[in-house]
Structure 1
């Protein structure tokens, strides 16, 4: 459960609502755990207050953090995606090495199917909108190397050539498809909030996805 507020005062009011319904929540087998709850203050224009009034839950002050994993996606107070890109790069490395070890004697067709299933599904990658070129290049290189290792190709062979020969999407094609799919789903949604997001020309994520789909990355 996530509570969002533009001010500490507003967040405290939301927390007070949670405390009011604690008895009802507890009677249904759930509890608000202050030890597992945290507070994150997002930066505004690169600035963040040095001191923030405490936010309480059932008399316990919640810990303030600068990074938190929510639904598998790493959020940071500066709203940059470098940490989440590194999470996905590490996960890709683990999956690729596992495939290379267990399926080294399989045919190229089988290896291609495995690569599509385990290495092309970047979780929440279409939410990456603010990151460094270094982080983005690192996961691109990992993606290329994963394919080389699985297929037993030379380390410095042409990335575009090997994907074209295997009729496989390269890193950029994969990202374009994922971002294009997000924009299509948001614009086609019947949810009023998503419709509002899609209609905003200054929406960071939709604008970034459109740029990626057109072959231009905005960072």
Structure 2
């Protein structure tokens, strides 16, 4: 579970509620797996952070942590998570190329769509450098070339069009559009507000992604 708080004092109150609930229901939080992450203000720094305790033990402060497979960092940068996806894709692409080298082109394309187009949580990426995203795009393109045995410098758009397979930018647009549709259709009031606010960073990024790409 994750606790979000605007201040240390409020976080201590939330932890106190959790501790009392755990005692009342015969539960106990794992202190060694519990960590504290302080988000940095944009363009600013974080001063001395008072200690936060769970069961009398001080929580370890970290600069990043992995939550449901997605890396969250103190500066809210998505570069770490983009790199996580690139490494994962490299492993999957190499596995497919090695194990299914003798399969037909149609089978290889089907496998590529199933294993290499998930881009897990890519619709949440908002803050990243273009060079970081380009490394993932190049990995995606090269993985497809290697799997199909295509020349290294062949046209990426041409090979995907011929194979009737979505290119990198097409997948990014579809994933972000899918998330926006689900947010707008959600009955959750908080998600609905997030989807309708035009000044929201997610809104700005998603609109820019569809206009520029």
What's the TM-score bracket when you normalise by the shorter of the two chains? over 0.9
Q: Distance in 2 between matches of 1:100 and 1:205?
A: 36
1:24 and 2:57 aligned: no
Alignment length, in residue pairs? 213
Q: Distance in 2 between matches of 1:191 and 1:45?
A: 28
Structure 2: runs of 5 or more not aligned: none
Q: Distance in 1 between matches of 2:156 and 2:69?
A: 29
Partner of 1:179: 176
8 Å contact from structure 2 (residues 42, 75) kept in 1:
no
Q: Distance in 2 between matches of 1:47 and 1:190?
A: 36
Residue aligned with 1:64, SS? strand
8 Å contact from structure 1 (residues 42, 48) kept in 2:
no
Q: Distance in 2 between matches of 1:212 and 1:179?
A: 9
Q: State the TM-score, normalized to the length of structure 1.
A: 0.94
Structure 1: runs of 5 or more not aligned: none
Aligned partner (choices 193, 204, 207) of residue 204 of structure 2 = 207
Residue aligned with 2:31, SS? coil
Q: State the TM-score, normalized to the length of structure 2.
A: 0.97
1:43 and 2:40 aligned: yes
Residue aligned with 2:80, SS? helix
For the aligned residue pairs, the C-alpha RMSD in angstroms reads 1.1
CA-to-aligned-CA distance 1:124-180 (integer Å, 9 cap, x gap): 000000001111000000000000011010111111111111111110001011111
Structure 1 residue 79: deviation in Å? 0.2
1:69 and 2:66 aligned: yes
8 Å contact from structure 2 (residues 51, 59) kept in 1:
yes
Partner of 2:4: 4
Q: Distance in 1 between matches of 2:155 and 2:48?
A: 51
1:89 and 2:73 aligned: no
1:147 and 2:144 aligned: yes
